[in-house]
Structure 1
Amino acid sequence: MKYVYIQEFGEPLLGGEKPEPALSGTEVLIRVKAAGVCHSDLHLWEGGYDLGQGRKLSLKDRGVTPPITMGHETAGELMAVGPDAEGVAIGESYLVYPWIGCGVCPTCRNGFENYCGNAAYIGVHRDGGYAECLRVPHPRYLLPIGDLDPADVAPLACSGVTTYSAVKKFGAQIKDQPVVVIGGGGLGQMCIQVLRALDGAGAVVVDLDPAKREAAVAAGALAAVDGGAPDAAARIAAAVGGPAFSVLDLVGSPQSAALAFDCLAKGGTLVMVGLFGGTAPWSLPLIPIKAARILGSLVGNLGELRELLDLARAGRIKPIPVTRLPLDRANDALVGLRRGEFVGRAILCP
């Protein structure tokens, strides 16, 4: 099978061929039809995260070492099963849940494998979907997609379930007032869909890129605001109808976090998802003065992905824009993502 992989952090991906993986126990093998290219892949490709003040979180220090085949948004056709795999059918199409934990710790047993301290994420700790085939450790991580297009469904495994889990953290207040969504890329596009599916009051999207703002309005956002405008906070308040009780930062830079906090009403909730990097820009006294809740949200659990896929099957989650590329253009996809060239998602189709 063909695959592309990181040999050295920060260097172009390499391509190669190797035998299809042999299966044992409950393992299953997916013939990859679509693999999303996510912003998290950029951090993995670069080898870490910017923590600000000259510090970096090194993935190598966290036990993530090349060679690595990336790709955690994967959908495809089941082609083989191990001797103990049950409940799935060869030839059927599935979405792969990638946020796998150890399976035995209290966090995993409580249904939050995505928070496991000994994670075994597909596309990070184990080989991912930038390949013609993908080995998955257990059928429980396969979600049937029927006749849905794998390229449309693949982003649900990360951008979809990430925004779904984050939006749920706001609770019922999404029905009372629009949510401010900072970042109009793939996650922002998905967030518009999620808010509509959950009967929310809608989204006010903030982005620096005019093309992404235009795409957000076309997708159903109530308004799109230039985050770089000097009066951005005032424009956001005007679009929302006052200070915002729900702000979702999908960027995670000092600039986006500062704007997000400035928009927040007293007693409001700021959910941080983006991993762009840097340090928090808030003055500490203002956090209690605003009675602000600041929450982090890391992808989503398996149950949440099932819920989201049910909404997609019911037609309540519409596909976000995708750009389909062959597997051998994985480097182009990463560079294009870094430059902000894609509206929605770039999808590798082996």
Structure 2
Amino acid sequence: WNQLSCFLREISPVRKENSRSEQFRSRFIAYSLVRNGSQNIYLSITEKRIHLPSNFFVYAKTCLQLFLQTKTAAGTSANRSEGSSTGGAPTDEMPNRTLVTQVSIESPSARLRDAIFNFESPMPTIPPKGARIKQEVVDSVGEEARSEISVGDRVIVYPYEGHPPGYAEYIAVPDVEYLVKIPDEMSLSVAAMLPSGALWAINTVFHAQKHVESVLREKGESGICKLLLVGTGGLALWAMRIARYYWPTDREKLKIVVACIRDEGISIAIDELKVNMVRWNEDLYEEQLVERTKNACEGPVDIVIDFNATSRSIRRALKCLAKNGVLLMSSEHAENLLKRFSLEAERENHELIPVELGSLNQLKNLVHLVANGEIEPPPHHIFPADNANEALSKIGRGQIHGRAILEFPEEDEE
């Protein structure tokens, strides 16, 4: 291990960043190192000049240790089986000892920072009232389960409390009520977006709807509610499509302006969704950006939606909010931001509201609306797992319009 780490440091500079994308990159490179052997990683790094994140070595060493432990455990189980009195036939205990490789990706954990790789894991048992899922298909159903769900159905899993993080080929769901059937004509790539980004977007739109109605009541019949949506990434594109479906009669009284931070999604927002845009060029002074935003919105705004809130975007949004204005953000980013900006918001009677992931019923509605074509999913791009670095690099440069999806191919059975 010491020789390997020294070699990697020599051929590749180490980044200092510790962002979520860098952590994911570290885990993926570490996974590839252990899974495919060091030689492949050497070639990948030297040919593509990959810059290793600073936390890569921690993840890689941990992965290597886990890999060796599980290989040892598998070998021990095999030896016990061969030496048993049954002449090498499998015993009744073998199914629980069987190790399966967790490599397939369907959709990420609701909390992205929980996304991790586990290389080997015992085959999950079937909960009495639940089911075991292999990829998107029901593999087995518990004896006490009461549901229309049956073996062979294609499903997605609602991210319930205690939902295991990461990606697994097999998962055990404690209750079949968390399973939502998806129609055969719906692609897995579209279905995978629904329990994560789309579910967060629909709940945010529902929260915003309450404040839109309140603002319009206060302003009267001639009043207009102004809403600023920050970003043109996947969540924002979902939110615009969902809002267009649920707010068709309020378009004349609702002015939506999208603040574009990067070029991704601009053409979609302008050409397809017909919304006004304001460019947040980070080369400009803060006062200029605030003034530019107010001009585009024709004055202070009543509601701001910022899915990927940062200190800088929150500070800018608060300067654009009217008195009694509301700022909605993802609860994933909210804890530290609320501590930092609560007092500043109170001085201007602004309200900072963290929005949780949507409900099970909202997920069922999403499946129905998307399957019937009433809500069109944003564009997405599928990358083979081996090209994860390319996907992350393109995301960082704003070259992907919509969502990026990693596809892990099934391993050949041996």
TM-score by length of 2: 0.59
Pick the structure with more strand per residue.
1
Aligned-pair CA distance for 1:237: 2.8
Aligned-pair CA distance for 1:40: 5.1
Deviations 1:261-314 (A, max 9, x none): 111111111112163997566483x53342211111122222322233333234
Structure 1 gap segments, 5+ residues each: 1-6, 24-30, 46-64, 102-119
Give the alignment partner of residue 121 of structure 1, picking from 148, 163, 181: 163
RMSD of equivalent CA atoms: 3.8
Q: Distance in 1 between matches of 2:385 and 2:378?
A: 20
What count of residue pairs does the alignment treat as equivalent? 287
Q: Distance in 2 between matches of 1:190 and 1:219?
A: 13
Task: Rate the CA distance shift 1:317–1:227 in 2: closer, same or farther, 3 A.
Answer: same
| 1:46-61 equivalent positions in 2, closer than 5 A | none
Contact 1:32 1:349 survives alignment (8 Å): no
Aligned-pair CA distance for 1:190: 0.8
- Specify the SS of the correspondent of 1:35: coil
Contact 1:203 1:221 survives alignment (8 Å): no
Contact 2:103 2:119 survives alignment (8 Å): no
Aligned-pair CA distance for 1:344: 1.4
Q: Distance in 1 between matches of 2:393 and 2:95?
A: 33
Contact 1:94 1:143 survives alignment (8 Å): yes
Give the alignment partner of residue 137 of structure 2, picking from 39, 63, 77: 77
Deviations 1:113-168 (A, max 9, x none): xxxxxxx123x2xxx43x44443332211111212222112212111111111222
Deviations 1:171-226 (A, max 9, x none): 34446534211121111111111211211546422132123323322341512222
Task: Rate the CA distance shift 1:255–1:174 in 2: closer, same or farther, 3 A.
Answer: same
Structure 2 gap segments, 5+ residues each: 1-22, 36-66, 75-93, 97-101, 121-133, 214-223, 409-414
Which residue is equivalent to 1:235? Answer: 292
Contact 1:196 1:202 survives alignment (8 Å): no
Tell me which structure has the larger Cα radius of gyration.
Answer: 2
Q: Distance in 2 between matches of 1:160 and 1:167?
A: 10
- Specify the SS of the correspondent of 1:272: strand
Deviations 1:223-258 (A, max 9, x none): 222223543333333333432111011122111111
Give the alignment partner of residue 93 of structure 1, picking from 113, 129, 154: 154
Q: Does 1:325 align with 2:402?
A: no
| Percent identity (aligned) | 24
Pick the structure with more helix per residue.
2
Which residue is equivalent to 1:211? Answer: 264
The one-letter code sitting in structure 2 at the alignment partner of 1:259 is R
Give the alignment partner of residue 317 of structure 2, picking from 251, 260, 270: 260
Give the alignment partner of residue 152 of structure 1, picking from 170, 190, 200: 190
Give the alignment partner of residue 163 of structure 1, picking from 198, 201, 207: 201
Q: Distance in 2 between matches of 1:134 and 1:245?
A: 43
Deviations 1:56-95 (A, max 9, x none): xxxxxxxxx97489xxxx9723233233334202332222
Contact 1:97 1:157 survives alignment (8 Å): yes
Q: Distance in 1 between matches of 2:271 and 2:362?
A: 27
Task: Rate the CA distance shift 1:235–1:315 in 2: closer, same or farther, 3 A.
Answer: farther
Which residue is equivalent to 1:180? Answer: 228
- Specify the SS of the correspondent of 1:316: coil
The one-letter code sitting in structure 1 at the alignment partner of 2:373 is G
Q: Distance in 2 between matches of 1:192 and 1:33?
A: 30
Contact 2:233 2:264 survives alignment (8 Å): no
